[in-house]
Homo-oligomer: A and B are copies of this chain.
Amino acid sequence: MSSPEGFGLSCPLPIDQYPTVVLAHGGGGTLMHQLIGKMFRPAFHNPHLDAGHDGAVLRLTGRKLALTTDSYVVRPLFFPGGDIGTLAVNGTVNDLAMCGARPLYLSAGFILEEGLPMEALWRVVQSMARAAEAARVQVVTGDTKVVDKGKGDGVFITTTGLGAIEHDVSIAPGSVQPGDLVLLSGDIGRHGIAIMAVREGLAFETTIESDCAPLAGLVMELLDAGVEIHCLRDLTRGGLASALVEIAETAEVQITIEERAIPVREEVQGACEILGLDPLYVANEGRFIAFVPPEAAERALTIMRGHLLGAEACVVGKVMRVSPGLVTMTSRIGASRIVDMLSGEQLPRIC
């Protein structure tokens, strides 16, 4: 249905069930996937969008480019370990990295709310500039809109990233193979808990900082070393669990993980218990999983562990053929359970 006449006039989502947009439609869980899968993807139908990847891989003049976009609406704007500006640069840089692309250029669209303190905007812009410098990308074009007070929330930023893919490896969910190992780049749950702690006014013994960081350098090291990588995915909205379910479904494979292998810091685990959250679903902004064939795992881990952002990298699971689309986890006590996608997410407006 590439023709606009091709899709009907009636809304493709069951509007008796969800007559309006709810927060969970942006939560990274099943409702968001329904919105994307049933409305956006059929309407804009094309192979790039259908690949179900973090960005589009485009062939232009014989070279491969990656294009990716994210809107950032995190609340509060400033949090331990970063702010919306850091996030807007690193998040998009990371999506490019997950396509195996070297990040080159960013665009930035600002939607400012009337009444936003000018000093706050300046802090955000400085954070973006620093993050761009660190990730070696240039913000080359932008746009500024202002909405009336009460029609926005301080500042929303949409960054789009353009990167170059300088290799012939197809890094995408579709490349995942039974037998692949799942590598995790480090401990999970810090970004979500850092945000939640500020939002709920919780004080822990140690301040938990967001893990927000640019992952492109580490990914480029893996690629430059010629490590065979089948798929990469950063663990943002919906956390490790949602990323695994998305890939299991797109690649039509089963993924099984070991709970005890997944690093979670003691203070994050403690905060999760207090807040009633499962770290598997908590957002990260500097963590990713890599799907590699078993023979490439040792080399990949060595490179990852040699990098500041992958020091705790480890194998957390493997890919199997048995039940396509299913993610299972062996718990600490040895029981096996199914890992589902949440219908919404635990924490709205996390990024």
Contacts and interface: CB of A to CB of B under 8 A. Distances in A.
Interface stretch (A40-48, A178-186, A294-302): A40-48
Contacts of A12: 122
Interface string A103-118: 0110111111111111
Interface in A129-152: 129-130, 132-133, 138-148, 150-152
Interface in A67-88: 67-73
Given A111-B156, A112-B21, A112-B25, A69 B143 contact: yes
Nearest to A85: B43
A27 B111 CA distance: 12
A206 interface: no
Interface stretch (A3-11, A220-228, A275-283, A316-324): A3-11
A65 B162 CA distance: 11
Contacts of A121: 21, 39
A80 to B, nearest CB: 20
Contacts of A68: 107, 141
Report, as a range, how many residues of chain A touch the other chain: 35 or more
B146 A348 contact: yes
B67 A162 contact: yes
Given A144-B36, A153-B147, A118 B61 contact: no
A118 B160 contact: no
Contact of A108 (B69, B110, B111, B126): B69
B13 A118 contact: yes
A60 interface: yes
A58 interface: yes
Q: Which of A56, A61, A115, A141 has most B Cβ within 10 Å?
A: A141
Contacts of A130: 4
A48 to B, nearest CB: 4
Interface of A: 2-4, 7, 9, 11-13, 15, 18-27, 32, 35-36, 39-40, 43-44, 46, 48-49, 55-56, 58, 60-63, 65, 67-73, 104-105, 107-119, 121-122, 125-126, 128-130, 132-133, 138-148, 150-153, 156, 158, 160, 162, 164, 348-349
Given A60-B60, A71-B143, A160-B160, 20 more contacts: A3-B133, A9-B126, A11-B118, A11-B119, A11-B122, A12-B122, A19-B119, A20-B115, A21-B146, A23-B146, A25-B146, A26-B112, A26-B145, A26-B146, A49-B139, A56-B107, A67-B105, A71-B145, A71-B158, A111-B111
27 contacts: A4-B129, A15-B118, A21-B115, A21-B146, A23-B146, A25-B144, A35-B144, A36-B142, A40-B125, A43-B129, A44-B108, A44-B125, A55-B141, A56-B105, A58-B140, A60-B60, A60-B63, A60-B104, A61-B61, A67-B107, A67-B141, A72-B145, A109-B109, A146-B348, A147-B153, A148-B349, A150-B150
